[in-house]
């Protein structure tokens, strides 16, 4: 990563970094990743769910398999090569005092037109804190393409004066946790195809989402999100760990349950 990458991240709200991990390093993570997908690593309750549907869906029909907090359910991943390298990236981009807030797997099954990740800003999901710095590192396990639903961003929306209004996509905490907001006139979305082992890194305010998987293969991503240590302290004091099984409803703490987070800018 060079100075231009850092400047791009701050200007656009995201950056694409090539070869965060080598093919061998990805291959090692992939073994465990696929154990999660085959449900050989037990994941309780809603921490194994579908990001593109409600909690009631039959797991066989999931379009975007979401394993939340894999490092909690497979402790040997704690401190793995992705976490080590991503922390360095997060601190280079956002400065000192960053720490891992949560990790998740997002795997779009083949031939799933509805494996759509609604447009959103991550801040809509999170409690407001004085130091909102974030760097979410999205590692491609498969080559991520327009056809299989790669990440898309609306550059520089991190500079919008206000968070956009977000709504639950499938009904609310009882049925799903996905939030979304519509694109606005003038939003110029860009698709960002990346290779296996590459990553994108985005901040807490940039608009992003992704389209369905029209290919015959998986689109697997492993995501680690870094935020300021102060924010982590506040979140944990609220009882928030980003598990979908948390007793505390993160959407309620940010005022979304059944209503809207953010406001029109
Ligand atoms: O994997 C995707 O398509 C979207 C992921 C995302 O929104 C995120 O990691 O913040």
Q: pLDDT tens track of the chain, all 265 residues?
A: 999 999 999 999 999 999 999 999 999 999 999 999 999 999 999 999 998 877 778 888 899 999 999 999 999 999 999 999 999 999 999 999 999 999 999 999 999 999 999 999 999 999 999 999 999 999 999 999 999 999 999 999 999 999 999 999 887 666 677 899 999 999 999 999 999 999 999 999 999 999 999 999 999 999 999 999 999 999 999 999 999 998 877 666 666 554 455 644 3
Alpha-carbon gap, residue 10 to 8, rounded angstroms? 5
pTM metric for this prediction: 0.94
Spell out the alpha helix ranges (H) of the chain.
Answer: 3-12, 23-37, 70-73, 81-94, 229-238, 250-253
Cα–ligand 1 centroid distance for 226 (angstroms): 14
Cα–ligand 1 centroid distance for 95 (angstroms): 23
Cα–ligand 1 centroid distance for 51 (angstroms): 10
Q: CB within 8 A of 4, min separation 6: which ones?
A: none
Q: What is the sign, positive or negative, of the torsion defined by CA atoms of 105, 90, 182, 186?
A: negative
Where are any strands of DSSP class E within 189-258?
190-191, 199-202, 207-210, 219-228
CB atoms closer than 10 angstroms to residue 20: 24
Cα–ligand 1 centroid distance for 264 (angstroms): 22
Which one of 14, 70, 82, 117 would you pick to mutate in the ligand 1 pocket, going by the greatest count of ligand atoms within 8 A of its CB?
117
Q: CB within 8 A of 95, min separation 6: which ones?
A: 133
Any atom of ligand 1 within 6 Å of the Cβ of 222: no
User: Burial level of 48, CB count in 10 A (0-12/13-18/19+)?
Assistant: buried
Judge whether 10 and 26 are in contact, CB under 8 Å.
no
Any atom of ligand 1 within 6 Å of the Cβ of 157: no
């Amino acid at each position: 990563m060079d100075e231009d990458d850092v400047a791009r991240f701050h200007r656009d709200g995201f950056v694409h970094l090539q070869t965060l991990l080598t093919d061998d390093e990805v291959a090692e993570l992939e073994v465990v990743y696929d154990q999660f997908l085959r449900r050989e690593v037990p994941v309780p309750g809603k921490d194994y769910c579908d990001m593109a549907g409600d909690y009631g869906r039959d797991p066989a029909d999931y379009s975007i398999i979401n394993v939340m907090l894999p490092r909690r359910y497979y402790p040997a991943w704690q401190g793995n090569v992705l976490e080590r390298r991503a922390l360095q990236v997060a601190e280079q981009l956002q400065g000192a005092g960053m720490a891992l807030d949560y990790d998740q797997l997002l795997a779009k099954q083949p031939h799933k037109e509805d494996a759509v990740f609604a447009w959103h800003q991550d801040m809509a999901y999170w409690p407001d804190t004085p130091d909102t710095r974030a760097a979410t590192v999205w590692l491609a396990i498969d080559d991520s393409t327009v056809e299989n639903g790669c990440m898309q961003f609306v550059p520089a929306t991190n500079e919008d004066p206000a968070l956009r209004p977000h709504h639950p996509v499938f009904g609310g905490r009882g049925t799903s946790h996905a939030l979304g907001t519509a694109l606005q006139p003038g939003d110029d979305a860009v698709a960002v195809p990346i290779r296996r082992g590459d990553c994108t890194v985005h901040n807490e305010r940039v608009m992003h989402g992704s389209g369905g998987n029209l290919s015959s293969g998986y689109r697997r991503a492993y995501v680690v999100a870094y935020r300021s240590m102060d924010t982590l302290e506040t979140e944990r004091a609220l009882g928030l760990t980003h598990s979908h099984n948390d007793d505390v409803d993160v959407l309620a703490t940010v005022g979304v349950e059944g209503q809207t987070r953010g406001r029109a800018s």
